[in-house]
Structure formats: C-alpha cells, structure tokens
Structure 1
Amino acid sequence: MNSVAALEKILYIEDEPDIRLVAEIALRQVGQLDVVTCASGEEGLAVIHEVMPQLIILDVMMPGMDGPQILSKLRAMPEFMLTPVIFITAKVQPDEVEQFKQLGAVDVITKPFNPMTLAQDVRAIWATCHE
C-alpha cells in the first residue's frame, strides 16, 4: 500500500464569518491542521501562491465569485490544476453533488457540518484522493 502524504495545509474560502470561524477552530484546534481562511474568492486567489495549499475547501454560494467560478480559475493555474477541491454547501441534492463533482470537486461536505468531525471528514476525503 502506498503511503499518503500527510494533509497539513488547507485553504478554506467562505464568506460567512461565523462558519469561517467554526471551521477554522474545527480544522486547526480539533484537527491539528494548518488552515488559512479567506472571506472571498478574490482574497483566496490573492493569497493562494503564498499558502500553497494541499487541499482547498470552497463555499459554493458566495457574493462576487462563487465556488464553481473559483474552481475554474484554480484549474487554469498549472500549480493548482490537480489540487483536490471540496465544496461545502447546504445544497446537497444528489444531482447537485454530481454536478459539483463533474466540475472537478473531489467531494461535497454538507452544511451545517459537525465541527468535531470536520477534520476527520476532510482527511478521509484526502485519503480517497490518494488511493
């Protein structure tokens, strides 16, 4: 069995301050992950080269640039073409999840998420990307 590189660095783009804070605590304190949070797609794209995340979590619905638009911009950057992206959304009808995966997301996490299991859910998705 090949070893999976440890997931350490995550970029999370979320416009809701409360959700961003809960996710940051869930990933950093509970999950011991290095997470950088941004309030908008523009902000995330501005810092992505400094952060160099191994995995990116995108809120689907945001003002300005939404998750799918950010994903298409990421896929146009050679260094992030293959970076796993997880969408996080309250919209989780099976056809919507399938649509997000067709856009290139590796998985979808449902809001509201459980802060106590968010990091392990993210790690499980990370592991499936490296099977």
Structure 2
Amino acid sequence: MSTKSILLIEHEASIREVLHTSLSEFGGWRVTLSDSIQEGVNLCMITYPDAILLDASTSETDALIFIEQLKRHSMTRSIPILLITARASWFTSNQLQQMGFAGAITKPFNPSTLPAQVSRLLGWSNGDL
C-alpha cells in the first residue's frame, strides 16, 4: 500500500506546522508544504498529490482562482481540494462541489481528529491512513 500525499497550502506558519504534524504524524501521510497559492500551483505540477488542503483565507489571491489554475492542466484537474476555513459552515456540500471543492474543514480544528475528517471528506478508507 502506498502512502497518500497531501499538498498543504497555509500562509500562517504556526497553523501550517500544526496541520503538517497532524496530517503526517496522526494521518501517516506525506505532506508537502506551501505558504502561498502560486507556490502551491507550482508544487502541484511537480508532486501530483492525492489531495490538496487549502486555507481559504490566503491574502494573496482567491481559492477559486487556484482551482481555475489547476483546471488548466489535465494532470491536476482531478485532484480533490479541501478548504480549511473559519467560514466552512457558510457553505452546503452542493455549493462546495459547484465551486470545485471536495469539502470544507472548519477552523479551529482538532488536530487529533483532523486525519479522520480528511479521510471522510475524501472517501479514503482507514487503510489509506
């Protein structure tokens, strides 16, 4: 069984570190870190992750622009993207899907349960942890 990989795009260093530890230590996944959307797009083209976890409050650009940039490339078009945002409850599952997201995780989050939440939203089985 191969280990799943996640591209984590979070501009705030302290939150990025907590997310990284939660996903890699508790989830057992390979995590590639990015502090900006543009760097995330570039890393996506190199690493082809199994999923992307994107902070929706990045200051440089909008999360929807990120999705549009990924859709331009056939190799990254099908990578599921999860939002992590304090505004996750503002959206229904249908609205998130229409915008191109696989789901959303609310900030603040519980680091010990985050991997199970990611797995549930992505439809990954426990064997994928």
Task: Give me the TM-score of the superposition, normalised by structure 1.
Answer: 0.85
Q: Unpaired runs of 5+ in structure 2?
A: 125-129
Q: In the alignment, which residue of structure 1 is the partner of 2:64?
A: 68
2:6 is matched with 10
Q: For residues 69 and 97 of structure 1, do their structure 2 counterparts lie closer, same or farther at Cα, with a shift above 3 Å needed?
A: farther
Q: In the alignment, is residue 121 of structure 1 matched against residue 82 of structure 2?
A: no
Shift in alpha-carbon separation, 1:28–1:95, aligned structure 2, 3 A: closer
Amino acid at match of 1:101: Q
How many angstroms does 1:111 deviate by?
0.5
| Counterparts of 1:71 and 1:26, CA distance in 2 | 24
TM-score, normalised with respect to structure 2: 0.86
When structure 1 is superposed on structure 2, of 31-40 and 58-67 the one drifting more is 58-67
**Contact 2:89-2:106 at 8 Å conserved across structures:** no
Give how far 1:93 is off.
3.5
The RMSD of aligned alpha carbons is 1.9
Tell me if the contact between 1:9 and 1:34 (Cα under 8 Å) persists in the aligned partners: yes
Q: How many residues align?
A: 124
Gapped regions of structure 1 (runs ≥ 5): none
Percentage of pairs with the same residue: 30
